[in-house]
Structure 1
Amino acid sequence: MKTTELRNKSVDELKVELTSLLKAQFGLRMQLATQQLAKTSELKRVRRDIARVRTILAQKVA
């Protein structure tokens, strides 16, 4: 997910995006725990996307 795409979204859309990313992260963690996760790089990608969304949310709210 690109930063420019996130900057064009409203605060409500960013919050929805954040909740979906957090759910995806939870699912990936469960797959990792049960040894079903094939691509461990997905965890890193989702974690960084969550950080991007939270950063842009903080910038927009402040």
Structure 2
Amino acid sequence: MKSKDIRELSVEELDKKLREMRDELLGLNIRKRTGQVENTGRIRVLRRDIARFETIKSQKK
């Protein structure tokens, strides 16, 4: 998501999206350790998106 789109979300929506992304990241990390992940670049993208969401969330508070 673009930063502009993220800023339009409410704090509750940000929390919900963060939970979903963290769950996905956890699943990807587990599958990576077992050698089942084909697209390891998705892990990097998720980590950056989580950081972006956290930054915007803290700016809103």
Pick the TM interval, shorter chain.
over 0.9
1:11-59 deviations in whole A, cap 9, x for unaligned? 0000001000100100110110110000110000000000000000000
Distance across 2 between alignment mates of 1:17 and 1:40? 21
Distance across 1 between alignment mates of 2:21 and 2:53? 9
The one-letter amino acid of 1:13's match is: E
Runs of at least 4 residues off by over 3 Å: none
1:10 match: 10
Count of residues paired in the alignment: 61
Paired-residue identity, % = 38
> TM-score, normalization: structure 2?
0.97
> TM-score, normalization: structure 1?
0.96
Structure 1: runs of 5 or more not aligned = none
For the pair 1:49 / 2:49, whether they are aligned, the reply is yes
